[in-house]
Every structure is written in C-alpha cells, then in structure tokens.
Amino acid sequence: MKAYVFDNLPGDQRLPHDSGREIDADALQRLGVLYYRISDLADVDKLAADRGYRNRDEIKVSPATMGDIYETKVKSFFDEHLHEDEEIRYVRGGAGYFDVRDNTDEWVRIRLEKDDLIILPAGIYHRFTTDETNYTHAMRLFKDEPKWTPLNRSDDLDSNQFRQGYVSTFLT
C-alpha cells in the first residue's frame, strides 16, 4: 500500500497522479480508513468473522473479463460517491487505486496490490479505478446480502445520516 495526496493534474485516472506528498497509515486511520496486509486467506476469514462480514463475492475488473463495458464501468467507479455500509476490498491480484477525501476535501490516493485489504467507513466520499495495467481482482466482503449501492456526491447527500455520522466521527 502506498498513499499520497492526488495531484489533480489532467490525465488518465489510471495513472499514479502522485503529488509526492505521502500519507501514512495513521493518517488514513484518522480518516476512518483501515488497512491490512494479509497474505493468507484464513486471516481474511478471521477478520471477516471478527467484523461480522457474512457474505462475499469476487470481481475481476479488466477488459478481458468485462468486455465492451469495461471503460464505462471503470469511469462509473471513478464517480465520487459514498455507501451507507462499510466498503471492504481484498485485492487478490492486479492493482488499483481507492481515492478518499481527507478533512480538507483533498483527494488521498491509496494504491493497493495483491494481499492488501482496505476498509472504508460508511459515509466517506471515495472513488476507485484500476491502474494502467487495467486489471484488479478483488474480493468484496459484506455484512449482509451483497450489494453495491453508490450514492453520488451532491449537496443533498451531505444531510444523509451515514454521511453525517462519518463527518461527526472522523472530520471534526
């Protein structure tokens, strides 16, 4: 895992966009973002049981697995959004970027590779993209039935109870 402030320069979203301003795991944790390096699937199972994640699925994001919809899907994953549930991703292969908003509303880019696991809290604004290799194989973990409902950022969304809970816990 490598985290840094996103440079906000124009260009392909799949490029590093590394500003050179690194962010450490403690700073991520202050934003509610939890990071784990786990090489053994049994340890993922233990974390899942400890946190009450009962369901999971796997997704391979690549042109080979998604065909003609790949570019459209990767662009939609990159729209700024939040979820009303934690977002848990365990990278099984390839790599990708999760971008999260910090307490000044800057983007923090988090590069994840095989064996990296990230937990984003409910209510955090974020987005995802593959890197320039165009391949991410991820396990998605869920507390309840698998669902992935993004709520795209808008002024109205700031009053969402999950967003307000996130802000009051991590951004004040």
As a whole-number percent, the residues of the chain with pLDDT over 70 amount to 99
pTM, rounded to two decimals: 0.95
Is 126 labeled as ligand-binding? yes
Q: How many Å apart are CA 100 and CA 102, to the nearest integer?
A: 6
Task: Report the pLDDT value the prediction gives residue 162, as an integer from 0 to 100.
Answer: 96
Residues 61-117: tens digit of each pLDDT? 999 999 999 999 999 999 999 999 999 999 999 999 999 999 999 999 999 999 999
Question: How does DSSP classify residue 84?
Answer: S
List the domains of the chain with CATH numbers: 2-6+15-170 (2.60.120.10)
Is 137 labeled as ligand-binding? no
Is 87 labeled as ligand-binding? yes
Closest CA to 127 of 74, 171, 163: 74
Q: Is the pLDDT of residue 146 over 90?
A: no
Q: What is the mean pLDDT of residues 37-47?
A: 97
Report whether 141 contacts 48 (CB < 8 A).
Answer: yes
Task: Report the pLDDT value the prediction gives residue 82, as an integer from 0 to 100.
Answer: 96
What is the average pLDDT value for the chain, to the nearest integer? 96
Is 81 labeled as ligand-binding? yes
Report whether 136 contacts 121 (CB < 8 A).
Answer: no
Q: What is the mean pLDDT of residues 136-148?
A: 88
Query: Long-range contacts for 41-49 (Cβ within 8 Å, ≥24 apart)?
Result: 44/90, 44/117, 44/139, 44/141, 47/117, 48/141
